[in-house]
Amino acid sequence: MIKKILIANRGAIASRIIRTCKRLGIATVAVYSEADKLSPYVSMADESYLLGGSRVDESYLNSEKIISIAKKANVDAIHPGYGFLSENAVFANQCEAEGITFIGPNSKVIKQMGDKVAARYAMQLAGVPIIPGTEQAVKSADEAISAARKIGYPVMLKAAAGGGGIGMQMVKDDAALEKAFTSNSERAKNFFGDGSMFIEKKVTHARHIEMQLLADHHGNIVHLFERECSIQRRNQKVIEEAPSPFIHKTTRQKMGEASVKAAKAINYTNAGTIEFLVDEEENFYFLEMNTRIQVEHGITEEVTGTDIVEEQIRIANGQKLAFNQSDLKLKGHAIEARIYAEDPVTFFPSPGKITTFKVPQGKQTRNELTVAENMTVTPFYDPMIGKLITKGQSRNEAIQQMNKALDDYVIEGIKSNLPMIKEIMKSVAFIAGNTPTTFVEDYYLPLTIKNKEE
């Protein structure tokens, strides 16, 4: 049984994992960089160890140092959280080789689903609908242009080896694709160590909807329904909600069944998420699989009453799922807003010292925080300050709770995207559930221009 876990991550997710471990009586080990030595999660853990410098390659991507600390601390398992090494098959394999339980799927599955081209092929074999695109990675701009002409513009240029919007760009013609290919390929190589790209048809007026999965080592797989994650900037999510206000019950059932079928086809275990693009007629297409816990997992927990981190640990312990699909029911509605240290119009990061920091409290409000008052948001990592989650018996009630919470949220000393979140929550389009992936461009940015003119 797992008695001691090292969290190979930082910030909000590290704190989140530690809280569940404390409740379960499991000892925790935190690792931190020079920039994070005063972060709240460091003191929350039972033990903490300095990884190295502030840069990610000196700290949170230093797998050898993390394994060394894990062995020194005599841990049973490592929880990778999200980002950093969470979908790194080499790191998972290192854990396996050292006899340390990796809280996630095995390294072979991570490798298979981490390669976006291989993942598309696996889903196609499993009978899951996929977006028209290249069968193999494209290695040059000329090859990309040739593929795009066959598929038909507009297309999405994507990194084959990564996600999170890195290396992703929509292009409408040959000239734009040629210009985008080199820069995006180089960016992908810097982040993922692989500059391979692939091309997909752009699905217009799409929704980004994902299905949360849990799978044990005994062949039991369930889905925990869907999350709507369509409101994005720079191809990264800003607001998520569960359930989706767009899809109908029959579509939800079909997407859930397809997701479970996909997980069974690749012998998946632990927590994972199948992401789909859904068109206006509710046709859905496989986008990617995240072989880890998601940033937005909290809203699923709120509407299902499930602690996903606890389930991850139980599965890693070899335990069977304590419930089946028929036991899971949707209860109410939950919304998450990601609060960032960034300019609310340009979306450029706004690092600096937070001089005043007050977060809303309440029974229907949940905060997952990366920082505290008088802390400095550094330029070294994602500038997320925290995640604000509100719940209601209905979507309207969850929105009302979010508006109240946002009114009580105070961040001073740096810029934040609080004005953006407030504007979106009160917009006619959001209230109506009209939230395609182009929401920010179609509705939010025009509002900022109008407000300036007034």
Closest of 137, 275, 262 to residue 203, by C-alpha: 275
CA atoms of 289 and 277, how far apart (whole Å): 12
Cβ-proximal residues to 311 (8 Å cutoff; 6+ apart), any chain: 214, 271, 321
Q: Is 23 a catalytic residue?
A: no
Neighbours of 90 (CB within 10 A): 12
Q: Which two structure tokens, joined as six digits, stand for 428?
A: 């006619």
Residue 267, beta-bridge partner list: none
- Please identify which of the residues 10, 227, 233, 292 carries the catalytic annotation: 292
Give CA separation, 337 vs 208, 238, 247, 392, 402, in Å. 16, 6, 21, 15, 9
Q: Which residue, chain included where needed, has tokens 């507009």?
A: 154
DSSP secondary structure code for residue 138 in this structure: B
| Contact of 110 with 88, CB cutoff 8 Å | yes
CA atoms of 424 and 331, how far apart (whole Å): 24
Q: Is the dihedral of CA 177, 179, 180, 182 positive or negative?
A: positive
The residues assigned a catalytic role are: 292
